[in-house]
Amino acid sequence: MIRRFAVVGALTLVLVTAATPPLESSGATIYHVAVTVSPSLSTNLPLLRLHFSAPTKARNLPPLVTQPPLTTRWEQIGPNSVQAIATGALEPLTNYVFRTPNTMSCAKTCSFTTYTTSVASVSTNLVWEAQLLAQLNYLPLTFTPGTPQSTPSEQVNGTFTWAYNLPTNLTSLWSVGTDNVVLRAALETFQSQSNLPVTGEADPTTWSDLLTAADDNHVDPATYDYVDVTEQLPETLTLYVAGKVTFTTLVNTGIEPVPTELGTFPVYVRFISTTMSGQNPNGTTYHDPDIPWVSYFNGGDALHGFIRSSYGFPQSLGCVEMPFASAKTVFPYTPIGTLVTVHD
């Protein structure tokens, strides 16, 4: 059985389930990854993943041979799973041909008994990441696979489409195959929900968990939420839940000496209640306990509740302040990875 996961511009993943004798004998589910990398990502790229039905050791596998030559090694990513890592320098705009195993035989060591010649087109790996995150509902986009070509080594096209009608402040930041804030935030949400270190970078553990989630159809059960803050007077916050405006409130952003930075940032830490301390512009200090419903999104800038006599204009020291009741309403929709845009 072959299942193709398509991307725009390059074949990224073909899942092959081979009918093979057990290794010691056990069969292997073979993930053939024809990937691409940017010039800055030249090593430690997964080329091939093998998932066995019984425990196996990476050291028992013969080397993966490529043409042109590329140094590779097998890496253990689970008791039953290994992946071939490109440890040598990858050349951009280069096609690497390697033989992927169809079947295996094992005694004390393993050997590939039949092969399929495959081509990895080297340019960027980010499209595959976006495809998986869209499939799992962590992105505000859907992915529709195109029609597979005649052989696995040929390109398979697909299309990303916006799932919601979101503001251009957000949609303008997305581009297929780029390391953009929309993609990084979606990955951070996945990492947070998967109890992984929240880095926004797809390390081998994150890749393995992404593949497992996609294979098991473990989609994100939450809605895709987004917070838009405008510094046009009166200053307001607009909350989008699954593409729809569900709540608006007056807010206060930073005064001139310490303005709220403009841009789009993912929420990275949250508190139901916390103490905020620091220095005022005049050199005095402040120490405010019991600040409620806090979602930090950029350094010391956070969404939170704060008591003021009025709202709608700059009054804070960089944070986005709102009435307690408003902050309580917004807080459930700002988990780790939620994007917050501040604009004028």
251-300 residue pLDDT tens: 999 999 999 999 999 999 999 999 999 888 888 999 999 999 999 999 99
- Is 162 domain-assigned? no
Residue 205 lies in a domain: no
How would you class 173 by CB atoms within 10 Å of its CB: exposed for 0-12, middle for 13-18, buried for 19 or more? Answer: middle
User: Which pair of structure tokens corresponds to residue 215?
Assistant: 């294979």
Q: Which pLDDT score is estimated for 113? A: 61
CATH number of the domain at 45, please. Answer: 2.60.40
Q: Would residue 128 count as lying in a domain? A: no
- Over the chain, what is the mean pLDDT? 79
pLDDT value, residue 157: 58
Give a yes or no: residue 185 inside a domain.
no
Counts of helices then strands in the chain (DSSP H, E) = 5, 20
> Is residue 37 included in any domain, yes or no?
yes
Per-residue confidence (pLDDT) for residue 156, from 0 to 100 = 40
Chain centroid to Cα 171, Å, comes to 16
What is the reported pLDDT for 282? 86
Residue 77 — very low, low, confident or very high, per pLDDT cuts 50/70/90?
confident
Look up residue 236 and give its two tokens. Answer: 């307001």
Per-residue pLDDT at 253: 98
Query: Confidence class of residue 321 from pLDDT cuts 50, 70 and 90?
Result: very high
Which of 97, 122, 147 is where one domain is finished? Answer: 122
- DSSP letter for 294, please: E
The backbone region for 293, taken as left when phi is positive above 0, alpha when psi lies in -120 to 50, beta otherwise, is: left
Give the residue from 70, 104, 122 where a domain finishes.
122
Identify residue 19 by its one-letter amino acid code.
A
Residue 23 belongs to a domain: yes
What is the Cα 125 distance to its own chain's centre? 12
Instruction: Please report the pLDDT score of residue 50 as a whole number.
Output: 73
Where among 122, 155, 174 does a domain terminate? 122
Q: Which of 182, 188, 185, 189 is nearest to 167 (CA)?
A: 182
Tell me which residue range forms the domain holding 239. Answer: 225-343
Rounded CA separation 280/286 (Å): 7
Output DSSP code: residue 252: B
User: pLDDT higher for 68 or 263?
Assistant: 263
Please report whether residue 146 resides in a domain.
no
In a domain, 129, yes or no: no
Domain count, the chain: 2
CATH at 320: 2.40.440.10
- Which pTM does this prediction carry? 0.66
The predicted-structure confidence for 195-235, as pLDDT tens digits, reads as follows: 999 999 887 788 878 888 888 889 999 999 999 999 999 99
69 pLDDT more than 80: yes
Summarised one tens digit per residue, pLDDT across range 91-128 is 655 667 777 666 666 655 666 666 566 555 544 467 77
CA distance readout (Å), 168 to 162, 173, 246, 310:
12, 8, 18, 30
> How does pLDDT run across 136-149, given as a tens digit for each residue?
999 999 988 765 43
